[in-house]
Structure 1
Amino acid sequence: MWLDTLVHVSKVEGAIEENVIVKMLEGIEADGKLQPLVVLEILSRSSTLKVAAVKDYVIRWLDAQKKQIESDRKAIAEGERRVEEIDKQMESLKFNVQVLQVNKCSACDTALQLPAVHFLCRHSYHVHCFESYSDKPDVCPACVGPMSRETSRESISDKAAYQMFHKELNGAVNGLDVISKYIRSGVFDSSRRNAQKK
């Protein structure tokens, strides 16, 4: 609807009241379905439209872009800080001695006796407790809960993921946000999907 209105306004030969243009631009901005550059491109075809009519619209758009850029910069800085922390932790785990001072079994909560099984997540178990609580020999039973939720979310079938992706994409105001979310989660990563199927 707004696109047709814009095209019509850009073709009008006579003078158009500035407040009509301002109200139209406010409606387009509130709707959020047309990108400001598209709006400006269409309105630039008008031979009678004055820049003053779109000035406030452009200023609001530029302010919003500036805020988004600042928000993105903060998110990037936070991400870099977290990556740096994780790198330090990984380096510490690789090259430094890990002192395990756990004195109670994480399963039965009694005093830890040898032989014992220790994990880098700082959980420790009696061998017999570990064998009875764990399905996998290389995974901490206390940590398997959160990890299994992640795994089950990732092991969604391709068809279900495709349907969910299309449903979210069709309902989204900004489709690029949905696409980037799915790319980050690895849905488009064929090597990961193939590894899951094996």
Structure 2
Amino acid sequence: KQLNPTPQQIEQEQLPESLINLFMNNPDELLDYLEYAVKQYPKEHLVSTVYDTILELLLQKYSTSTTEDKKEQDRLSHQIITLLQDSKIGIDVTRAMVACQKYNFKAGVICLYDKAKLYQQILQYQMKNKESDKIVSTCLKYGDEDPQLWIQALSYFSKLKRADGCRKEIQQILKYIDEKDLLSPLLVIQTLSNNESTSLDLLKDYLIRKLHNEQTQIEKDQSEIRRFRQESELFVEKIKQLETDPILCQDPKCSACKMDLDIPCIHFFCEHSFHEHCAYAVESATSSEITYECPLCSGDNRKWLDLINMQRVSKDIHETFHRKLDDQQDKFGVIAEFLGRRLFDKVI
């Protein structure tokens, strides 16, 4: 009767959780019933207690299974992990974590930490259980999201006393730390100095690689400095020429419409020439005088002028802020005023 209840019976009798107590001395039968109920009963009637009970029963069964029956252990382990990973069921995560730790089901603990994106806890748990073989794998899996895992792993292996000095693991970690530039060489050396079995030979490849990269960067920076210096000299020379030498405008055609130039025409310092009606006319804000801008260069010119003006304004704002901060007794009020006026917003 209870295996195929009507919707009214399910609602009135609170199935299947109301029958759990009847199976307390028969865990195998209870597990069979709950697994059947999960498949047959409407999802909206299945509370978290049902799934929590299934999880605990599976964990009990897993903990009592013998290591000889590896196939059964693998089946139960897969079933538990599938249950924990199912996002559609309302399993109590805290209770599930307690149950997994109670029955020492390490894969379940890792799964729950992973589900909650608690990668630091995964690494700490593996360190606590001395699962050295899994630590590097964890860093490889989650290290891109949390690079600090690599630093913690290096610290762990630097303190781990092992005959081989954790050579393989440390080399893997150093390679990643070097690629992502997570630690300075000095901090790496200080960290590894905790391990008496760590030799300089272990650091040789890392230090050589680091020094080579630093040398390459120095050469690149020096090349950039030389390039900027040459460009600066060219700009200075060009400015000097504009100030002292005449400019020859030899293009007989308008730079805008490509028609032959005729009078009146306008020539600019950028060596572009236009008919008067093809150039941009700009009225002065303070007088009736009309000036002209090169249509081809005005966009870039305005951009640079705006940047220069913004730098001047920013400088004035900071000077005013510090002056007011020194003069006023209410320092917090000054800061609040400037923040409220959004005067410190980053200029993009």
Q: 1:129 aligns with which of 271, 278, 295?
A: 278
* Aligned mates of 2:222, 2:244 — CA distance in 1: 33
Count of aligned residue pairs for this structure pair: 162
Please tell me whether the aligned partners of residues 266 and 274 of structure 2 are also in contact (alpha carbons under 8 angstroms): yes
136-145 vs 46-55, greater mean Cα deviation = 136-145
CA distance in 1, matches of 2:204, 2:294: 60
2:222 alignment partner in structure 1: 73
Q: For 1:191, give the aligned amino acid.
A: K
Matches within 5 A, 1:160-175: none
Determine the structure 2 residue equivalent to 1:191. Answer: 315
RMSD of aligned C-alpha atoms?
3.3
TM-score when normalising by structure 1: 0.66
Contact 2:248 2:271 in 1 (8 A): no
Kept in 2, the 8 Å contact 1:134–1:140? The answer is no
Tell me the CA shift for residue 26 of structure 1: 2.0
CA displacement 1:139-192 (0-9 Å, x = unmatched): 2112224445x46x969xxxxxxxxxxxxxxxxxxxxxxxxxxxxxx88x8238
Distance 1:129 1:3, change over 3 A: closer
Looking at structure 2, the residues matched to 120 and 127 of structure 1 have their Cα atoms a distance apart, in angstroms, of: 15
Q: Residues 193, 123 of structure 1: CA spacing in aligned structure 2 closer, same or farther, 3 A cutoff?
A: farther
In structure 2, give the amino acid aligned to 1:72.
Answer: D
CA distance in 2, matches of 1:140, 1:51: 65
Number of the residue aligned with 2:297: 143
Aligned to 1:12: 160
- Residue identity (%): 31
The residue identity in structure 1 corresponding to 2:237 is K
Following superposition, the deviation at residue 134 of structure 1 comes to: 4.1
Confirm or deny: 8 A CA contact 2:157 2:169 kept in the other structure: no
User: TM-score scaled to structure 2, two decimals?
Assistant: 0.40
Return the structure number with greater relative CO, CA threshold 8 A, min gap 6: 1
Check conservation: 1:134, 1:141, Cα contact below 8 A.
Answer: no
How far apart, CA to CA, are the structure 2 residues paired with 1:33 and 1:116?
61
- SS of the aligned residue for 1:125 comes to strand
